[in-house]
Structure 1
Amino acid sequence: GGFRRGQDDQGTEMMPSGGRRRAPGRRARGGPGGPDGPGGPGGPGGPGGRGPRDPRDFDDEPEPDGRGWKRFLPNWKIVLASAVVLAAGLFGMIAVAYINTPLPTEKEAQETAIAQGSTFYYHDGQVIARLGTKRVAITIDQVPQHVRDAVVAAENRSFYQDSGIDLSGLTRSVWMTATGQQTQGGSTITQQMARNYFQGLSTEQTIKRKVKEIFIAVKLDKEWSKDKVLEYYLNTVPFGRNTYGIEAAAREFFNKPAKKLTVAEGAYLAGRIQQPGNFDKAESEGDYKPTQERFAYVVSGMSQMVDENGKPKYPNITTTAKFPKPREARPSQEFGGLKGYMITQALFELRTTRNLSREDVESGGYKIITTFDKKLMQAAQRAVKATTTPMSKEFHAGLAAVDPATGRVLAFYGGDNYIHDPWNEPFDSRKQAASAFKPYVLAAWLDAGFSLNSWVPGSETVPKELPGTTKITNGERVPSSIDVTYATAHSINTAFASMAFALPGKLDDVRSIAEAAGISKKAIDEDENGVGGAHGHGYQLAIGSVGVTPVEQAAGYSIFANEGKHVDYHVIQEVRQGKTVVFPEKRDVRQVISPESAADAVTAMEQVLKVGTAAGKGIGRPAAGKTGTNNDEKEAWFVGFTPQLSAAVGMYREQCRTDSGKIVQPEYSNCPITPGGKPSKKYGPNNPYTHPKEVSLGFQGADAPTTIWRTFMMEALQGKPVKDFPPKSGIGTPENIVPSPTPTPSPTPTDIFPTDFPTDFPPGPGGNGPGGGNGPGGCVPGDLSCNNDDGGLQLNPGSNPTGPNQGGGTGGTGAPASTPVTSPSGAGNRRSGQ
C-alpha cells in the first residue's frame, strides 16, 4: 500500500523563435578585406584587407584576441575541465567513503541494539542505578498491518517508495547540522533504524554521523527488504516510559501484546515516536493535548493510504478512530528513594548542557559519573529528618551542599522517596532569600572600595524615601549609627538598603554581583521590575525580596569561601562511553570579587555565628554564614560555609486547602488531587481537590534551618582537616553615610567588635542594646516593641489581606512570593499531586 498521489497534466509551452533584432540604425561590421579591395558590408573579405569601419569605433587600432578586459577571463575549456576534475574527485571521495562504511551483520546489530543501557555512579565509582530498556523483540508478522501503516504515516510516508533517504528532509537536516542547530530530523525510517541499531550513530552529533547514517541507510535499502527494515525498526524505536519496541510499548501503554492493538491504539503509539520524552512529561501532568494532536496527524495520514488497486485502505478512519487514553504510568523502581532525585537532576543537566535526551541515555551505553557523595547524601537526609520528623507534612525543607572550589553538588536533600514525591526541593523551590541575600550587597560594598569600618544608618534608610520602594524598617530597636560588621551580624535592613543606594551603580552593582554568583537573572529581573502587572520591589532587593533556590545559595556563597571565585554548580562530573570520555566536566572559574573583599566579607559573616542572629550555632571550626526570614515567617533560611564546604537550608510551610477553605492533610507532602486519593469524576490534575497555601512556619532562620545546617556540617566535616579562612584584609575607605549631623553610635557594638569600628568619629550615647535584625512581617512599622532576632522583610504595609499588620508574604504591591523555575519535573512551584 502507499499514498494516493495527484497527477498533474504536463505540457510544453512553445516559445516563438527567430533571429535577434539588431538595434535600429546600427550597421553590421564588415569582414576583413581582401588583398585588392575592401570586403563587402557583411561578408568576409580576402586576406589582408579591412572592412568598412564602424562609425562608433573611435579606435583605428585592431583589437586582437587576448587584449583588453577579455584577457582576464579563463578559457572556457579550462573551466569545464576543472569542474569535471573536481566533480570526479568529489564523487570519488564519496564512493570510497561509501564503500568503506561497513554494514554490520544482523547478529552484531542485534547485540548492539540490546546492550545499550546506561549506568549512573557516585563520584567515587559506586553505582547509583542503571537505566536500561524495556524491549521484547518480535517478528514483522506479529505486528498488525494497521500498526505498520500507522508508523509509516507518522514517520516516513514515502517509506515504500524511497531508497532509504528522503532528499528534501535530508537537505534540511544536513543544513541544520552544519549550522549548529538540532542534529536530528528529516530522517527516514531506514535512517532511524540504522541509528538505533548500529553503535556510534546515535552519539556522533556531527555531519560525519549524518553522512555515515545515510550511507548505511542506502546500503540497507539495497540489501534488506522493506519489511525487514520495518521489523528491526519496530523492535528498537523508543515510545516513552522507558520502552523500546512495539511489543514493550503495547504492554506498557495498553497492557496487551502488539498483535492485539486496535487501529486507534496503533495510531496513538506511532504518534509517540516523534517526541516520547516530551509526551511522557505532558501526560504525567494530565495534559493529553500534544498526543491527541499527534494522533490526529497519524490518522489523517492513514486516511490517504491506498491499496494496490488504488482504493482507500482506511476510508472511515477519521470518524471511527477515537483517541485511546493509555493506562497510567507505573513507577520505575530505579527511581525509588533518594536515587530518583539524583537521577532526575542528572538527566536534566545532561539534556540542558549536553543535548542528551533521556532516550539517548537509556540507549547510549553511557557511564555517567555524578558529583554526588553517598555518605553526604545520607548525612543530608539524616540532618533534615532529625529536625522535621516531629513536624507535620506541611513543613518542607531543602538542603544543598556544594564544593566551593569546584562547583560540584556533593549532596542535597529533596525528599525521602521520589516515586511518592518527585518535587526536588533544593532545585525546584524558589523562595524569597530574605536576609540571606544581604551578603551580595556586602560583597558589592567591599568591592566598590568601601570598608567594614564605615558608618551606616541603623534607624532609618538613607535617603528616607528610596526610589520606587515602600518604606523599609527594622523589626526592633537599633542604634542610629552602626558599622558594617554589626549590620551584618544583626541583619539590619535599613543599613543594607542604604548601602545599596550608596554604591556607584546602586542596585545594578548588587545585581551584577548576585548574577555573577549564580543567582537567576530572570528572578532578579522579575523582582526588580515586577511581573504580571505587579510593581517591582525596588531597593527591597537589597534585603532579599528576590526568589532563590537552596542550590543557588550554596553555590553563590562560594565567592566568600573560595576567595572571590565562583564556579557554576553542576551534578555531572564526566560521561564515558567505553573507555572514552565523551563529555568532560564543565568547570569555568570566574573571579566575582577580589580576594581581599571576600576575606573581609567572611570576617563580618563569621560574627553571625559568634554574636549575631545565629549565635551559639557554630560547628567547632571556622565557619561563616547568614540567616534569613521573610514576612510572617513564611520562609526561613540559613546559608553557611567553611573553606571546604558551602551548604544552604531553606524551609517553608504549605497547607492544603479546599475551595471552601477546609484544611486537608498532605499525602506524602503533596496536596491531595482527589478526596482520600480515590478516583473522582469531579476532581483531577486540572481541577484538584485541594490547593497549597503558604502559611507561617512559626520560627525563623536562626531556628530550624540553622539547626539542620549545623547537624549536617558537623557530620559532613567529621575527620576532615580544620582550615582557616584568609585573615581580614582591612581594605577600603571608611565612609559615613549616616545623615548629618551624625548620630553617635551605641557603645554596644564597640564592646562586641572593638577592632572593627572607626576611631576617627566621636563616641556618644547609644541605643538600648544591639538591634535584632529584620523583624517579621507581623511587626507594624515603627513598633519598636516588636522583638525578633532575624525577622521578616518589612515590605508593603497592608499587603496581607488576612491581617492588619505589615507583611503578607509577597511584599511590594502584589509580586509573587515565589518565582517559578524551570526544573526537571517541569514545574516552578510545588503543586497538587507532586
Structure 2
Amino acid sequence: MNRPSVPHFRELCARWLARLRTVTAMAGAKARGMIGAAWHGLRHPTRRGLMLAMAAVPALLLAYVLALIPFTPRVSDIRKARVDRPALVVSADGKLLAEFKPVNREWVPLNQISPYVVQALIATEDHRFYEHHGIDPERLASAAFHTFSGTRQGGSTITQQLARNLYPDEVGRAPTLTRKLKEAITALKIEYVYSKGEILETYLNTVPFLYNAYGVEMAARTYFGKPAAQLDILESATLVGMLKANSAYNPVLNPARALERRNTVLAQMVKFGKLKPDEYASLKGQPTHVDFEPQSEAVGAAPHFAAQLRRWLITWADRNGYNIYSDGLVVRTTIDSRLQAMATQAVAWQTNQLQWIAKDAWNERTGCWPGNDLFQSFIRQTAEYRAARDAGLTDPAAVKKLAMDGSFVDALCRSKTQIQAGFIALDPRNGDIKAWVGSRDFHDEPFDHVQQARRQPGSTFKAFVYGAAFADGAQPSDTIVDRNVTIALKGNAVWRPTDAEPPTGRPMTLRDALAYSRNRVTAQLMQREGPAKVADLARKMGVRESPLDAVPSLALGTSPVTLKEMVSAYCTIANHGAYVEPRMVTRIEDRDGNVLADFPAAQPERALPPGAALKLIDAMRDVVTRGTGSEIRTRFGIRADVAGKTGTTQDNTDSWFILMHPQLVAGAWVGFDDARVTLRNDYWGEGAHSALPMVGAFYDMALRARVIDAHAQLAPRSNPPAASHPRAHHRFLFWRF
C-alpha cells in the first residue's frame, strides 16, 4: 500500500477542516433558528401553544411521579410493617432467651389505647382524617398558600406522617419536591392496604417519644407510669402535643411549654367537637402530673450471646428474604438455659467478691488520689478535663481543679476500677455453645469480654506448646532441667523467662512443668518445637481470628486472643484432637413451626493427633489434681474426670482458667477494661484465685443438677486421681451461701 506524500496529506487535512467548518456553520444556523423560533413563540404565544404548554406541565409531573413509584416501599413491605412479629430466640431446652425488636416498643391494639389519645390526635394533626385517602388536598393547598406568603405550615396528613415514620430511609424528611412526592405515593399505598383504624393503630405504635420509648404504650409508661389504655384526657393531650417537637414539649425537661402545648391540643379538641368549652375551661388550668420512669428494654437471660446472634441473623435474613422484626422467625439456639443461669450466678458471685478487693486497692489513699500518676492519666482522658483545657486552664491547673472535686473523683474511680469478666461453656463433641456471659451486667457494660475483648492468655497458652511436643513424640515423663535460660531475639535483644520459685537445677518432667506452670521449662520446650509450629497448632485447634506473633514469648501467652477462641481450642483437646467450629443455632423456623433452615454441627477437623491429645489430657489432669488448679478438687470438691489450666499475665493484669469435661468445656477471664488497672494483690490477681472460682462454682452446680454426667471419662487414665480434700464440702457451703 502506497503512503501519501506529505504535501498530499496536508491537502487532505485542509479539505476535511473546510468540510467540518461548513457542517458546524450549518448546525449553528439551524440551532439559532430553532432558539429564535422558540423565543418568538414565548414572546408571541398562540392559543394552541399555550394549551400544549399547560398540558405538558401535569404530563411531565405525572411522568416524574410514575418514575418515583419503584423507589417507594412495595405494597408487600407495607403489609408487613404493621405486623410486629419479632424473631424469638429460644434455648435448646425451649426457654425464651430474647426477642429481636427494632426499637423499645410494645405493640398494643387500638382498643387498648385511650380514646382521648385518638380524639386529640385527629383534632390536632388531621381533622379530615376519615374523609381523605392519604392526601388532604384542602390542607395541602392551605399549607402551600401559607408557605408562599412567608409563614411555613405543615400539610401532612396522619398517613403521610406514618409514611415518614415507617420508612425514614426510603421517604426521608428533606424539604424537597422529590421527598414530598415519595411521601404522597407511600401514603396512598398505605391507605390502599390499611383501614383507617389500622392506620391509627400503626401510627400510635410507631411514633417516637424520646428516652428510647417508641409508641404510645411505652410513652404512657415512661411519662405517666401507666398503660396507654388508662391515659386521661390531660395525659393524652400532653403526649399528642409532644408529636410536634419531642424535646421542646417534653413535660420533664420543659414543663411550662408542655403545658402550653397541651392546652393548644385541648383547644383543637373543642374546635372540632371532641371537647365541650366548659370542660376545656376547667381542664386548661390543671397541672399535668408526670410520673417519669424510663423503660429499659428487657435484655433476656443471655444478652451478649443474643447481641452476637442478632448480627448473624440479620445477615442470614437479608440473604434469604426475611425480616427479623416482622416475620416471626423462631431461632433455636444451642444455649442451655440451666447452664446459662449457673454461669450468670457464678460470675456475679465471684466478681462481687473481687470488687471488694478492688475497692480496697483503689481507695482515696492508695490508688484514686491526685498524687498517683496513673490516676492523673485517667483524669486527662475525661471530657471534663478537655472542657477545662478548652476554657484556658493549663494541664496542672485542670488536673488540680478536677482532683478537688470529690464527686468527680469518686465517679471516675468507680468507672475505672470495675471488675469485669467473661465466661463461656461449649460442648466439645459438637461445638454447641451452652453458656455465654460477656460481662458482669449487660446494662452497665454491653462490651462482650467473650468474643470482642482480646487479652493475653498467659499460661493457658502453654497447652499448645506441650501439645506440639507430644505430637512430635515427647512423653509426659520426659524431663528438662529447671534452670535459668537466656533466649536470643532479633536485634541483639534477649528474653529471660522467670518463675516465682528459684530454679532447682534438677530435671523436671513435662507433666510436673505443666502442672506447676513452670515458665523456664516451657520456654526451653518452645525452643525445641519452634514458635511457628506452636502458633500453627494453636490456629488449627481454635485460635483462628486473633493474630499470633511467632516469637519465643508466645509460649507464655503474650499474643492477645479472645476467650471464645481459647475455650474452643480446649474443646479440641477434650475432643481428642478434633476441632469442631462453635455453633450458636441449630435451626430456624417460621411462626407456624415450619423449618426454614437447619444448621448441623460442623464436621470435625483433625488438628492434633489423638495420641498427643490423650497425653495432653492426662498431663493437664495433674493441674487440677495437685497443681495450680487444685482448688477445683480441694475447695469445690469436684470428683469428676476433669483437666484444665490456669493463666496469669504479667503484673496480674489478666486472670484465666479453663476446665475440660467430656461433655462440657468452660473458661473464664477476669480483669479490668483498662489493662493498666489491676487488683494490686499477688494472691487474688492469679487465675487460680480469681478466674478459677467462677469455673469451679459453675461445674459444681452443673454436676449437682446432673446437667452433665459425673462419671464420664475424658480419656483412659495413666495415673489415679488424687483424693478430694476432706473439707471440700464445708468450703462449698462457705462460697455458696
Superposition TM-score, scaled by structure 1 size: 0.48
Tell me, yes or no, if the aligned pair for 1:459 and 1:494 is still in contact at 8 Å.
Answer: yes
Letter in 2 for 1:558: C
Match of 2:661 among 630, 642, 648: 642
Q: 1:741-752 alignment to 2 at 5 Å?
A: none
Q: 1:76-115 alignment to 2 at 5 Å?
A: 109=79, 113-115=82-84
Letter in 2 for 1:493: N
Letter in 2 for 1:566: Y
Tell me, yes or no, if the aligned pair for 2:672 and 2:678 is still in contact at 8 Å.
Answer: yes
Q: Which residue number corresponds to residue 584 of structure 1? A: 598
Q: 1:163-178 alignment to 2 at 5 Å?
A: none
Decide whether aligned partners of structure 1 residues 252 and 711 sit closer, same or farther in structure 2, where only a CA change above 3 A counts. Answer: closer
Query: Shift in Å at residue 245 of structure 1?
Result: 7.0
Deviations 1:55-111 (A, max 9, x none): xxxxxxxxxxxxxxxxxxxxxxxxxxxxxxxxxxxxxxxxxxx9xxx97899xx48x
Q: Which residue number corresponds to residue 355 of structure 2? A: 392
Query: Shift in Å at residue 648 of structure 1?
Result: 0.8
Name the one with the larger helix percent: 2
Letter in 1 for 2:712: K
Q: Which residue number corresponds to residue 713 of structure 1? A: 699
Tell me, yes or no, if the aligned pair for 1:131 and 1:334 is still in contact at 8 Å.
Answer: no
Decide whether aligned partners of structure 1 residues 143 and 704 sit closer, same or farther in structure 2, where only a CA change above 3 A counts. Answer: same
Tell me, yes or no, if the aligned pair for 1:634 and 1:696 is still in contact at 8 Å.
Answer: no
1:565 corresponds to 2:565: no
Q: Distance in 2 between matches of 1:366 and 1:593?
A: 39
Query: Shift in Å at residue 514 of structure 1?
Result: 2.0
Q: Which residue number corresponds to residue 313 of structure 2? A: 350
Query: Shift in Å at residue 455 of structure 1?
Result: 3.9
Letter in 2 for 1:703: H
Letter in 2 for 1:625: G
Query: Shift in Å at residue 380 of structure 1?
Result: 2.1
Query: Shift in Å at residue 391 of structure 1?
Result: 3.6
Decide whether aligned partners of structure 1 residues 349 and 242 sit closer, same or farther in structure 2, where only a CA change above 3 A counts. Answer: farther
Q: 1:121-520 alignment to 2 at 5 Å?
A: 121-131=90-100, 133-135=105-107, 145=154, 148=160, 155-156=170-171, 220=189, 257=239, 260-262=242-244, 330-335=294-299, 338-351=301-314, 360-392=323-355, 394=358, 395-415=419-439, 417-461=441-485, 463=487, 470-480=495-505, 481-503=507-529, 506-519=530-543
Query: Shift in Å at residue 333 of structure 1?
Result: 4.5
Tell me, yes or no, if the aligned pair for 2:646 and 2:656 is still in contact at 8 Å.
Answer: yes
Decide whether aligned partners of structure 1 residues 163 and 230 sit closer, same or farther in structure 2, where only a CA change above 3 A counts. Answer: farther
Q: 1:14-33 alignment to 2 at 5 Å?
A: none
Q: Which residue number corresponds to residue 40 of structure 2? A: none
Decide whether aligned partners of structure 1 residues 367 and 593 sit closer, same or farther in structure 2, where only a CA change above 3 A counts. Answer: same
Match of 2:619 among 597, 604, 607: 604
Q: Distance in 2 between matches of 1:614 and 1:550?
A: 18
Query: Shift in Å at residue 624 of structure 1?
Result: 0.8
Tell me, yes or no, if the aligned pair for 2:486 and 2:494 is still in contact at 8 Å.
Answer: no
What fraction of aligned residue pairs are identical, expressed as a percent? Answer: 21
Q: Distance in 1 between matches of 2:27 and 2:500?
A: 92
Match of 2:89 among 87, 103, 120: 120
Decide whether aligned partners of structure 1 residues 262 and 385 sit closer, same or farther in structure 2, where only a CA change above 3 A counts. Answer: closer
Tell me, yes or no, if the aligned pair for 1:251 and 1:258 is still in contact at 8 Å.
Answer: no
Superposition TM-score, scaled by structure 2 size: 0.54
Q: Which residue number corresponds to residue 568 of structure 2? A: 555
Match of 1:544 among 551, 557, 563: 557
Tell me, yes or no, if the aligned pair for 2:302 and 2:340 is still in contact at 8 Å.
Answer: no
Decide whether aligned partners of structure 1 residues 611 and 558 sit closer, same or farther in structure 2, where only a CA change above 3 A counts. Answer: same
1:725 corresponds to 2:714: yes
Tell me, yes or no, if the aligned pair for 2:618 and 2:715 is still in contact at 8 Å.
Answer: no
Letter in 2 for 1:483: T
More off after superposition, 600-609 vs 250-259? 250-259
More off after superposition, 577-586 vs 461-470? 461-470
Tell me, yes or no, if the aligned pair for 1:550 and 1:648 is still in contact at 8 Å.
Answer: yes
Letter in 1 for 2:468: A
Letter in 1 for 2:678: E
Q: Distance in 2 between matches of 1:560 and 1:153?
A: 51
Decide whether aligned partners of structure 1 residues 626 and 163 sit closer, same or farther in structure 2, where only a CA change above 3 A counts. Answer: closer
For the residue of structure 2 that corresponds to 1:708, the secondary structure is helix
Q: Distance in 1 between matches of 2:514 and 2:431?
A: 25
Deviations 1:513-565 (A, max 9, x none): 2223332534x34xx39xxxxxxxx3211111122333332222001101112
Tell me, yes or no, if the aligned pair for 2:75 and 2:193 is still in contact at 8 Å.
Answer: no
Tell me, yes or no, if the aligned pair for 1:369 and 1:573 is still in contact at 8 Å.
Answer: yes
Tell me, yes or no, if the aligned pair for 1:242 and 1:362 is still in contact at 8 Å.
Answer: no
Q: Which residue number corresponds to residue 609 of structure 2? A: 594
1:624 corresponds to 2:643: yes
For the residue of structure 2 that corresponds to 1:553, the secondary structure is helix
Q: Distance in 1 between matches of 2:244 and 2:170?
A: 19
Q: Distance in 1 between matches of 2:504 and 2:495?
A: 22
For the residue of structure 1 that corresponds to 2:480, the secondary structure is strand
For the residue of structure 2 that corresponds to 1:442, the secondary structure is helix
Query: Shift in Å at residue 601 of structure 1?
Result: 1.1
Tell me, yes or no, if the aligned pair for 2:106 and 2:217 is still in contact at 8 Å.
Answer: no
Decide whether aligned partners of structure 1 residues 517 and 385 sit closer, same or farther in structure 2, where only a CA change above 3 A counts. Answer: same
Q: Which residue number corresponds to residue 613 of structure 1? A: 628
Tell me, yes or no, if the aligned pair for 1:251 and 1:257 is still in contact at 8 Å.
Answer: no
Tell me, yes or no, if the aligned pair for 2:477 and 2:510 is still in contact at 8 Å.
Answer: yes
Query: Shift in Å at residue 634 of structure 1?
Result: 2.8
Letter in 1 for 2:573: F
Tell me, yes or no, if the aligned pair for 1:441 and 1:500 is still in contact at 8 Å.
Answer: yes
Deviations 1:19-77 (A, max 9, x none): xxxxxxxxxxxxxxxxxxxxxxxxxxxxxxxxxxxxxxxxxxxxxxxxxxxxxxxxxxx
Decide whether aligned partners of structure 1 residues 387 and 605 sit closer, same or farther in structure 2, where only a CA change above 3 A counts. Answer: same
Q: Which residue number corresponds to residue 749 of structure 1? A: none
Decide whether aligned partners of structure 1 residues 146 and 387 sit closer, same or farther in structure 2, where only a CA change above 3 A counts. Answer: same
Tell me, yes or no, if the aligned pair for 1:402 and 1:647 is still in contact at 8 Å.
Answer: yes
Q: Distance in 1 between matches of 2:87 and 2:222?
A: 21
Q: Distance in 2 between matches of 1:463 and 1:417?
A: 43
For the residue of structure 2 that corresponds to 1:431, the secondary structure is coil
Q: Distance in 2 between matches of 1:190 and 1:626?
A: 64
Gaps of 5+ in 2: 1-23, 29-69, 111-117, 127-153, 225-234, 249-291, 359-418, 721-737
Q: Distance in 1 between matches of 2:599 and 2:223?
A: 37
Q: Which residue number corresponds to residue 633 of structure 1? A: 652
Decide whether aligned partners of structure 1 residues 392 and 588 sit closer, same or farther in structure 2, where only a CA change above 3 A counts. Answer: same
What's the Cα RMSD here?
5.1
Gaps of 5+ in 1: 1-11, 17-97, 167-187, 194-216, 267-327, 530-537, 656-690, 730-751, 754-834
Query: Shift in Å at residue 695 of structure 1?
Result: 4.1
More off after superposition, 597-606 vs 149-158? 149-158
Q: Distance in 1 between matches of 2:463 and 2:316?
A: 29
